[in-house]
Amino acid sequence: MLLNIGQKAPEFSLVSSDGDTVKLSDFAGRNYVVLIFYPGDETPGCTKQLCAVRDDFAKFQAKNARVFGVNPADVASHKKFINNHGFKFPLLVDTDQKTAKLYGCDKFPYVRRTVYVIDPQGTIVFAQQGMPSDDEILAAIPGPP
């Protein structure tokens, strides 16, 4: 079940495509966090969704947002996906879908396509399943358009 706007976002700790560990608490008090849960690397819908974010990446940066894609694929798959499409943001490895489950978007064997925006205080300010437009996502984050 989708988490609610206004709810505290669950803490997570995942390995990124860069090989470092990313935790929600790393951004506390500093950044908005955009989590894009998606089913698979190199699938048509996922590629379209993440390429749109790539193309609007400067808008996310202007709003002090850190963007992460999340799915069960391993680091090698994520690196290949990034290299093939020039993503400017890391992808997080959620092999056991533990984080997807915390965020209500696990659906074994896939991840349910879901986008969350979490404010610097750790509160969910946007939650939508499917493929919301970047404009919808960005509208949830205060700052320049």
Active site residues: 46
Burial class (CB in 10 A: 0-12, 13-18, 19+), 70: buried
* Rounded (to 5) percent helix, strand, coil in the chain: 30, 30, 40
Contact 47, 55 (CB under 8 A): no
42: left (phi over 0), alpha (psi -120 to 50) or beta: left
Instruction: Report which residue type is found at 91.
Output: L
Separation CA 17–CA 69 (nearest Å): 10
